[in-house]
Amino acid sequence: MSRSLVVCCVSGGMDSAVAAALAAREGRVAFLHADYGQRTEKKERSCFERLADHYRAEARLVVAFPALAAIGGSSLTDRTVPVREAEPEKGVIPTSYVPFRNAHLLSAATSWAERVGATAIFVGAVAEDSSGYPDCRPEFYRAFEQAIRLGTRPETRIRIAHPVIDMSKAEIVKQGKELGVPFELTWSCYQKEDVACGVCESCRLRLKGFREAGVPDPIPYS
């Protein structure tokens, strides 16, 4: 019996790359990427394409969400809002939060998964040791799974897998090393595309994860 097909939501970052590696162990993969007008989309798209090549994705899809850029409200999509250069604040939703972004992403992934007969959607959401985005919580994904059941064909069966959601960044790095994830093909910086800034919340979390895991980070920093 052939292995089932799964849709992987791949931003180009380290978390989704590890989730995709786990998905590739489980079945055949199709890679989906979201372009919502983020500052580093060109670099993220390049990483997505190279990761798709690395994992031999059977199909790839880039979905544009211009509405998210038009809505704004995030330092990732609105250049008048500065990217925060500090450690994440516990209990505080950062300016980098894109309002309800993951619901848009999962909706597109569900449509594609139903169309191509995929049995699961893999996402690299992280709830622990993260920036505290509300749409990265386990209960959000449980609720969305129920929406999938109610809003698709009766015979459609699509589960949402979030294999790194309870991991720290250090644990994600260690898991990635065990899986042979090419971290040099990933990008986490919120504001630069040539060399990572090293000071935004995302860079700080990434650097902390590699440091605590005792693994060198292979991407360049300014």
Q: What pLDDT digit, counting tens, does each position of 128-173 carry?
A: 756 679 999 999 999 999 999 999 999 999 999 999 999 999 999 9
- For residue 176, the enclosing domain spans 5-213
Residue 218 lies in a domain: no
Residue 195 lies in a domain: yes
Residue 220 lies in a domain: no
Please compute the mean of the pLDDT values over residues 172-181 and round it to a whole number: 98
Coil vs helix vs strand at 182: coil
Residue 178 lies in a domain: yes
Tokens of 98: 């894109």
As beta bridge partners, residue 93 has none
Please report where in the chains the tokens 């180009």 appear, as a residue: 12
Task: Determine contact, residues 10/51, Cβ cutoff 8 Å.
Answer: yes
Tokens of 179: 């899986």
Residue 222 lies in a domain: no
Residue 183 lies in a domain: yes
As beta bridge partners, residue 59 has 30
Residue 221 lies in a domain: no
Task: Determine contact, residues 77/38, Cβ cutoff 8 Å.
Answer: yes
Count of domains observed in the chain: 1
Residue 15 belongs to domain with CATH number: 3.40.50.620
